[in-house]
């Protein structure tokens, strides 16, 4: 892989981060005061679905409390909102109680946090792959490969590709902070991000883990790893829009630092070849 290809990988990463930001903001605006701000076509779908649900609920609301009931809907009528809205209604009628009130903004914030780390982890994996292909000597490890695996690779290039895949996979374990520190020590990269920012990013990654693995509820491990004392185990972790904006900027800048460090170290890049790298992408976490 040459510098141009790696630069494309970096720009794809940067594009993905900014697209994620735009999608989150645009969807948040559209879903605020749902369904008031939806585009006309989508709003018509929601109004139609609401009317159908209301019609089906009339006999149910007249029934005896606690009795069983059935509601049938034609889910093939071409309205894509009908099934999910019926599902939301069902969860409340079945036991949650109250009127359906989904926190769409919270869902969008959670999705953005998860996707920011997904994009960053993918770019770090691409970056390590670039190092392996540029300097295969980093693959020298006390490991063995079975003969049948070698034969399945079909060629020496295939063997190298297999080794790189396994190397990148193993390097993917651990936190972002651990990966950056390892990239500094193992490859001699001068990645400019400060330890303060890395620690803040690590706390954000713990937030991401809670969202993915614990449904957004605070766990004891989360409290121990972050040292937070403003939330308790079982609470829904609060998501602040300004915090996520800073997280997006932090991820963007870190990606640029990694790209620049590898471009200089392994490709001998000149300053003029790094002009399109994000350096100041907003206020970062600290």
Find tokens 């190397």 and name the residue: 167
Indicate if the pLDDT at residue 122 is higher than 80. yes
Q: What proportion of the chain, given as a percentage, has pLDDT over 70? A: 83
pLDDT score for 156: 64
Nearest to 117 by CA among 227, 9, 212: 212
Give the pLDDT mean for 23-41: 92
Nearest to 114 by CA among 18, 216, 208: 208
End-to-end CA distance of the chain: 34
Nearest to 187 by CA among 144, 134, 123: 134
Q: Which of helix, strand or coil describes residue 217?
A: strand
Give the pLDDT confidence of 207-256 residue by residue, as tens digits.
Answer: 999 999 999 999 999 999 988 999 999 999 999 999 999 999 999 999 99
Nearest to 183 by CA among 226, 225, 129, 144: 129
pLDDT score for 159: 64
Top-confidence residue, 148 or 6? 6
Q: Which of 61-75, 78-92, 95-109, 158-172 has the highest mean pLDDT?
A: 78-92
Alpha-carbon distance of 54 to 50, in angstroms, equals 6
Q: Which of helix, strand or coil describes residue 236?
A: strand
pLDDT score for 96: 56
Alpha-carbon distance of 238 to 12, in angstroms, equals 30
* Cα–Cα distances in angstroms (integers) from residue 180 to residues 94, 133, 159, 183, 258, in the given order: 48, 19, 27, 5, 8
**Given pLDDT bands bounded at 50, 70 and 90, which one contains residue 85?**
confident
Residue 217 main-chain phi, psi, to 5 deg: -95, 140
Largest CA distance in the chain: 78
Give the pLDDT mean for 172-176: 87
Residue pair 139/165 in contact (Cβ under 8 Å)? The answer is no
The mean of the pLDDT values for the chain is 84
pLDDT score for 202: 94
Q: Which of 47-51, 99-103, 118-122 has the highest mean pLDDT?
A: 118-122
The model's pTM = 0.85
Indicate if the pLDDT at residue 108 is higher than 60. yes
Indicate if the pLDDT at residue 145 is higher than 80. no
Residue 236 main-chain phi, psi, to 5 deg: -75, 125
Alpha-carbon distance of 260 to 248, in angstroms, equals 19
Q: Which of helix, strand or coil describes residue 89?
A: helix
Top-confidence residue, 89 or 208? 208
Residue pair 11/276 in contact (Cβ under 8 Å)? The answer is yes
Residue pair 261/128 in contact (Cβ under 8 Å)? The answer is no
Handedness of CA 166, 175, 11, 131 (dihedral sign): negative
Indicate if the pLDDT at residue 272 is higher than 80. no
Give the pLDDT mean for 145-174: 73
Alpha-carbon distance of 136 to 123, in angstroms, equals 19
pLDDT score for 60: 63
pLDDT score for 280: 56
**How many other C-beta atoms can be found within 10 angstroms of the C-beta atom of residue 61?**
9
**Given pLDDT bands bounded at 50, 70 and 90, which one contains residue 203?**
very high
Burial classification of residue 207, based on how many CB atoms lie within 10 Å of its CB (0-12 exposed, 13-18 middle, 19 or more buried): buried
DSSP per residue, 112-180? HHHHHHHHHHHHHHHHHHHHHHH-GGGG--S----HHHHHHH-SHHHHHHHHHHHHHHHHT-S-HHHHH
């Amino acid at each position: 892989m040459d510098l141009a290809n790696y630069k494309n990988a970096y720009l794809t990463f940067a594009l993905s981060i900014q697209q994620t930001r735009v999608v989150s903001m645009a969807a948040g605006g559209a879903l605020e005061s749902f369904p008031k701000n939806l585009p006309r076509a989508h709003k018509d779908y929601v109004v139609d679905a609401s009317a159908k649900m209301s019609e089906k609920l009339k006999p149910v609301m007249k029934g005896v409390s606690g009795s069983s009931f059935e509601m049938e809907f034609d889910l093939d009528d071409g309205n894509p909102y009908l099934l999910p809205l019926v599902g939301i209604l069902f969860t409340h009628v079945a036991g949650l109680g109250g009127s359906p009130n989904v926190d769409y903004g919270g869902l969008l914030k959670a999705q953005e946090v998860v996707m920011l780390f997904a994009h960053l982890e993918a770019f770090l994996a691409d970056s390590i792959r670039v190092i392996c292909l540029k300097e295969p000597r980093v693959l020298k490890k006390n490991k063995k490969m079975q003969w049948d695996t070698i034969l399945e690779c079909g060629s020496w290039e295939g063997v190298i590709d297999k080794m790189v895949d396994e190397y990148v996979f193993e390097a993917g374990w651990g936190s972002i902070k651990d990966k950056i520190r390892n990239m500094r020590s193992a490859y001699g990269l001068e990645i400019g991000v400060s330890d303060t920012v890395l620690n803040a990013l690590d706390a954000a990654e713990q937030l991401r883990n809670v969202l993915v693995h614990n449904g957004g509820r605070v766990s004891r491990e989360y409290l121990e790893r972050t040292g937070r004392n403003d939330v308790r185990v079982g609470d829904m972790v609060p998501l602040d829009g300004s915090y996520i904006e800073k997280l997006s900027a932090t991820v963007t800048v870190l990606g640029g630092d990694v790209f620049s460090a590898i471009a200089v170290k392994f490709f001998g890049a000149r300053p003029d070849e790094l002009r399109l790298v994000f350096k100041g992408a907003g206020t970062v976490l600290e």
